[in-house]
Copies of this chain bind each other. A is one copy, B any other.
């Protein structure tokens, strides 16, 4: 990551970040249906994020920040400008970053064109690059709007537009100064997996998981939450009736990891890790490796199911692994 450091301002100027949240593609879109958002999950996630950001004592009215028309709805948006003007502040600890995957957005376009493999001299790849970006930025726009409707001051930041690029799929340039400035100003940056330029391949797909790891390394949040469509990491595909949820995984300095809870016979070695079935950028192995890389920084990683009491607790950072009533996987440093 040498190449990255010099291209961004010193992390010393960063405010302490509370949480980076990954909205997994499988959690917020309907699998198998092209470009279809799971509106219930998305709405619930935004409401939970608002709760996690709120002072528990505060019971203010939600003041929506999406003042645009809804497609197909002829009514003009209602804006309570006077209500906003009377508020002393938005009353949220909005020190969060949201990163989302693509799910049923982008995947179709990327796989039809092979944009992840690069080669912009190919007309098909060039067209696929354009088509993939249109699809993933459409999803980004909808997520920014859903957050804004919950009164969360969200700002979309497509990595391609931010000038982020890769070198053989590893981040090569990723200036985070605009993200940091947005956090300072009280906004919640919303990034996503995107088609980007690659120094060797011409172009590729930068996944949301790689973005999260980079931001975690740069900003050292208190915790990172991965929301997905199953309860966490299992020892085998979660559709298998014998699948066991791995509740706690420890990562050592060398990148090795072991399952602390539950006690397994074959302690972490050779278990077939599985998070979710719908993953388009590297699969489970990548996901667990990215999470382990974050945990090695001393940042707790919570992987849990979207739209549950468990996701709310994770977003609040209120996970107690000593009790059994939280369903999910904690990945943390062994230190």
B-contacting residues of A (Cβ < 8 Å)?
Answer: 34-35, 63, 65-69, 71-72, 76, 79, 81, 84-85, 87-90, 108-109, 112-113, 120, 122-124, 126-131, 133-135, 137-138, 141, 144-145, 148, 153-158, 160-163, 175, 177-178, 181, 185-187, 197, 202-203
Tell me the number of copies of this protein.
2
Sample of 16 A–B contacts (CB below 8 Å): A34-B69, A35-B68, A65-B130, A65-B134, A67-B134, A71-B72, A79-B109, A120-B185, A126-B186, A129-B155, A130-B148, A130-B153, A134-B145, A141-B141, A163-B177, A163-B178
The smallest beta-carbon distance between A256 and chain B, in angstroms, is 38
Once bound together, how far apart are the Cα atoms of A153 and B128, in whole Å?
9
Interchain CB contact under 8 A, B202 and A63? no
What residues of chain B lie closer than 8 Å to A157, measured between beta carbons?
Answer: 161
In the complex with contacts A84-B123, A120-B185, A138-B141 CB distance below 8 A: yes
In the complex with contacts A123-B84, A127-B153, A68-B138 CB distance below 8 A: yes
Interchain CB contact under 8 A, A34 and B84? no
What residues of chain B lie closer than 8 Å to A84, measured between beta carbons?
Answer: 113, 123-124, 127
The smallest beta-carbon distance between A90 and chain B, in angstroms, is 5
What residues of chain B lie closer than 8 Å to A71, measured between beta carbons?
Answer: 71-72
